[in-house]
Amino acid sequence: MSTARTIRTVHTVSELREQVKAWRAAGERVALVPTMGALHAGHVALMRAARSHAERIVVSIFVNPTQFAPTEDLSRYPRTLEADLDKADAAGVDLAFVPDAAEMYPEGFSTTISLTGPALGLETDFRPTHFAGVATVVAKLLLQAAPDVAMFGEKDYQQLQVVTRMARDLDIPVRIVGVPTVRESDGLALSSRNVYLSPEDRAAAPELHRALSGAAAAIAYGGNVLSAVDAARRTVTAAGFQLDYLEARHAETLAPVASREQGPIRLLVAARIGATRLIDNLAVPD
């Protein structure tokens, strides 16, 4: 461990709450950045954005087992704690909350959150238990840290909408803030899963963003929504992807849309190339 770090690391809910209580007593606002570790520039952007909302920043690092399906290899998810702590420290984070599974899900744990609304369809069609696991762990983190704001990346756009709706519906007193997607120079959205891409797959991966950009531009200039989406699907499959979905949805409710008149539009895609599943999304300009 680096001896130069100023970030504090805690492993229990009681330690987390004790520190947050002290900050509150000093009149300081608290921001939470929930992560599963393997931090990259996208996560750092969340931390830096958090500084404009609060005096104190908490980053949670927890690979949440309940959001992985039985067919997904939890053990393969990258774990880089020491590097993560260095990055969080360099970004000015005050506290890292690093619980283990027993702390988050003690013996006898038997509660999950049931979801509808923006959780229906898209990711749920391919990962049916995913958002129940996400919502449950995020609700726990929000109640444990009691932040004023919590930062989520727009790359996981459906997750952002699910969490926003959940906090609103359950009256959790926190403001959910979405932060724009951070991209490589060729448009590929930053993701912890990008490390799994082979050189050939990495070269093809930016086609996801190009396809979304082309469809968004076509719709913005008055093109037919369904035709633009179909053209984007063809672009993605021609690039060698196995497409899970590429859809035009209402930007807030995530209900299907077929025309500009049905509301602000978000294009969302999930596709596999090689052994890696990538997701991305893009707003259609007004």
Binding site for ATP: residue ranges?
Answer: 36-43, 153-156, 182, 190-193
CA 74 and chain centroid, separation: 17
Report the interhelical angle of 13-25 vs 130-145 (nearest 10°). 50
Catalytic residue among 11, 43, 53, 130: 43
DSSP class of 171: T
Q: Please enumerate, by residue number, every residue annotated as part of a binding site for (R)-pantoate.
A: 67, 159
* 3-class secondary structure, 267: strand
Strand 8-10 with 95-97, pairing: parallel
DSSP class of 186: T
The residue length of the chain stands at 286
Residue 269 pairs with which residues in a beta bridge? Answer: 246, 280
* 3-class secondary structure, 17: helix
State how far the Cα of 4 lies from the Cα of 270, in Å rounded to an integer: 40
- Catalytic residue status for 11: no
Phi and psi based region of residue 117 (left: phi greater than 0; alpha: psi -120 to 50; beta: remaining):
left
Q: Please enumerate, by residue number, every residue annotated as part of a binding site for beta-alanine.
A: 67
Q: Please enumerate, by residue number, every residue annotated as part of a binding site.
A: 36-43, 67, 153-156, 159, 182, 190-193
Residues marked active site are found at 43
